[in-house]
Amino acid sequence: MPSFEEARRIILESVPVLGAEVVPLLDAVGRVLAADITAPRDLPAWNNSAMDGWAVRAEDAVPGARLRLAGFIPAGAQPGDDLARGTAVRILTGAPLPAGADTVVPLEEAEEREGQLEVAALVRSGAHVRSRGEDVRAGETIMAAGTVVGPAEVALLASCSRLAPAVVRRPRVAILSTGDELVAPGEPLTPGKIYDSNSLAVAAAVVQAGALPAVLGVARDERAALEALVREGLEADVLVTTAGVSMGDRDYVREVLQELQVHQVFWKVDIKPGRPTTFALHGKTPVFSLPGNPVATLLTFEEFVRPALLRMTGHRRVFRPLATATLDDEVRHKPGRVQLLRVRLERHGAELHARTSGPQDTGFLMTQLRADGIALIPSAWGTVAPGTRVEVQVLRPGFELGEG
């Protein structure tokens, strides 16, 4: 049985980064570039004005100078003739400078009178000019493979007319719940039955991780039905099953996986909750068998499946940010397993504090709902006293940055 840290390392070393696909630019947002992108042209493509004003030669634009007005260049127009000495051209922001001009005089620093421009202040050579290629040079690598595409990346790609970048493909994740007691939400609920929340909860977590969920439904505690659905799930990039991996009389998942030539990498991890977690491989296809209790399902998905999906989609940062917090509650803990403690976070001045978000039994979904983070109680610790500093995986952004 691996430790918590070993289990995560094993998983990340075992899962493949998927291949590339070309997608429309906006579909690439939040995804990872699969190849370097080079600039096809200089940006800006020509010298242009950064202000509304007049294009001039700096040597002509001394205080008190009177320059002949020789035209007007709006944005999007061609500059026309070269700028002659002793002349100025009215120009708008973004318009190309005429040849010979090297400076722009802003509106507030000069005045037009009787066809001439009167310069009021000293003009610095090159002022208010965006020079060709000062942002990006043609042939320059503007984004490296592994870059996560966001608004700034979209702006630059659009500026280069790169409208269909190659990004790492999103994995299709098959999701299978198991158990005779489960009924699909919306169906009549008879005595002894409960609604299957795991399928939709895992599907939601898959979507948040940037992957594509494929819900297979519920497999009954019967080998033939389970085998048929597992076979279907193994056609996906990842298979996630919930329940049926413990040691009960009707926990068949591990046996069925073995019969289908799925290699078990490990079974059980030294965590609480979620100890009976299984990781296996069918060729290169990762298979995660998670505990069936909804809270344990979500926690083990968070710790093991989510990082794997991020790695498969090319992300380099696959773990939640960590913050150090002062624990305000006493937490009873038996050494031997890492405890995943659901906590609320609060800022007291510059100090981050954590307190339990409710009862830690895995039957309490509201405790999970209220949690801002997961405090990691090391396996070697015993009962934790109030005031102890603990590491917390931050689920809701901001606390790790001091923005509680």
Residue 144 Cα distances to 25, 36, 37, angstroms: 16, 4, 6
Q: From the CB of residue 295, how many other CB atoms can be counted at a distance below 10 Å?
A: 22
Q: Are residues 176 and 303 in the same domain?
A: yes
Residue 314 clears pLDDT 90, i.e. is over it: yes
Q: What is the pLDDT of residue 403?
A: 44
Q: Are residues 38 and 116 in the same domain?
A: no
Hey, which residues does 323 pair with through a beta bridge? 392
Residue 306 clears pLDDT 90, i.e. is over it: yes
Q: Are residues 339 and 363 in the same domain?
A: yes
Q: From the CB of residue 331, how many other CB atoms can be counted at a distance below 10 Å?
A: 22
Q: Are residues 263 and 339 in the same domain?
A: no
Find the domain containing 332 and state its range: 322-401
Hey, which residues does 347 pair with through a beta bridge? 352
CATH number of the CATH domain containing 361: 2.40.340.10
Tell me, yes or no, whether 317 lies in a domain: no
Q: What is the pLDDT of residue 398?
A: 78
Question: Quick one: how far is CA 295 from the chain centroid?
Answer: 23
Q: What is the pLDDT of residue 247?
A: 60
Give the whole-angstrom CA distance, residue 314 versus residue 304: 16
Q: What is the pLDDT of residue 249?
A: 47
pTM for the full predicted model: 0.90
Residue 104 clears pLDDT 70, i.e. is over it: yes
pLDDT in tens, 179-238: 889 999 999 999 999 999 999 999 999 999 999 999 999 998 788 889 999 999 999 999
pLDDT in tens, 256-298: 999 999 999 999 999 999 999 999 999 999 999 999 999 999 9
Give the whole-angstrom CA distance, residue 404 versus residue 397: 9
Q: Are residues 267 and 292 in the same domain?
A: yes
> 176 and 217 in contact (C-beta within 8 Å)?
yes
How many domains are there within the chain?
Answer: 4
CATH number of the CATH domain containing 163: 3.90.105.10
Q: Are residues 124 and 139 in the same domain?
A: no
Q: Are residues 149 and 108 in the same domain?
A: no
